[in-house]
Every structure is written in C-alpha cells, then in structure tokens.
Structure 1
C-alpha cells in the first residue's frame, strides 16, 4: 500500500493482492521505519457510515464503511473519497504506470489508458 500526504490530503493506493487481503480481513496495514521510530498506516473496515481518519501514536487509520468497502473490493470501482474543510481522503486501486519506472508493478491493476498509448 502506498501512502501520499500532501497539504490536507491523504491518499492510499492498493495493489490487487492488498485489496484482496483487505476484502478478506477487513484491515490492511503497512509500516515504514524512520530512524528509531515507525509510522504505521492502516485501512480498516468499520460499521460506521462515513469515511474518516485518525492519527494517534504514530498510526494513521482510515476507516472505511462496510458498504463502501464491499462495493470497492467487489467491483471495478477505482476508488472512493471524502472531503471536508479539514481533510481530503482518497483510497484507490493502484494502476500500472504508463511511464517506465524502477518498481515492481506485477501486482498492480492494468492501466485502462495503456491501450490508447500503444
């Protein structure tokens, strides 16, 4: 799972196997070690009705309503988002890049724009 933080925006991008694990388990998390500490970022299913986020004890948690999670993981839907004045949350399936990158993309979703660039 990739995380992007910019201004008041938080974006998670998940590969096919990560979306499948989230669908099965209801949670997916990653951790990045920075010096002597770590930042954990979590995507978690919730019975609540709104997409929301929290940050406590170096853990960013994005809570996804069950109905949204089920639709996203069970269909071709690319992503979902929620905007407030304070925060913009975006969760997406990770597509292969159209440009050459030094990154393993074998588990990414096929990019729908790739056919138009051939």
Structure 2
C-alpha cells in the first residue's frame, strides 16, 4: 500500500492483493521504521468500520483511514476504482482523502 501526502490531501493506493486482503479481513496496514525502536515508526492503515462516513484518525505514529462497511464492500466487489471524501479537520482546513485501487495496466 502506498501513502502519499500533498497539501491538504492524503492518498492511499492498494495493490490487487491488498484490496483482496481488505475485503477479507477489513484491515490492511504498513509499518515504516523511522529508527531503531518500535516507537520510532509510522503505521498507516485502511480499516473497515461498521457505520459512519469515510474518515481519518491519527495518533502517536499512526494514521488510519476508516471506511464504512457498506462503502468498503461496494468498492472491493465492483470496478469502482476510488473512494474520496473531503473532511473539515479544523475551521477552514479541509483534508481530502482518496483511496484507490493501484491495478496493473492490462493492454
């Protein structure tokens, strides 16, 4: 799974295998070591939740994009390539979330 940040946006791109894993287990996560200890790492994840809206949460070394189950099930079982939402994380501070299937080109 690839993570990309740009000004006011966060983007996750999942391979076909990761989309399957997400469909089967409801979670895909990657840990990036930034130093010699576990505390010096960044974990980013995509997680299925029962209800609500597409959202993001963050904490000490973690970023989790949460997708409602109905939306997750539709996305993983159709040809729909992406999920997107714009969240207001603070006054006048939108954050655009984009989750995409990073599928191989098939010519």
Where structure 2 has 5 or more consecutive residues not aligned to the other structure, the ranges are 89-93
Q: Which has the higher strand share?
A: 2
Partner residue in 2 for 1:80 = 83
Partner residue in 2 for 1:31 = 31
Where structure 1 has 5 or more consecutive residues not aligned to the other structure, the ranges are 95-108
Q: Which of 83, 97, 101 is 1:89 aligned to?
A: 97
2:8 counterpart of 1:8: yes
The CA deviation string for residues 54-79 of structure 1, in whole angstroms up to 9 with x for no partner, is: 11111001000111100110011101
SS in 1 for 2:29: strand
Partner residue in 1 for 2:104 = 110
Larger radius of gyration: 1
| Equivalences, count | 99
Runs (4+) of structure 1 moved beyond 2 Å? none
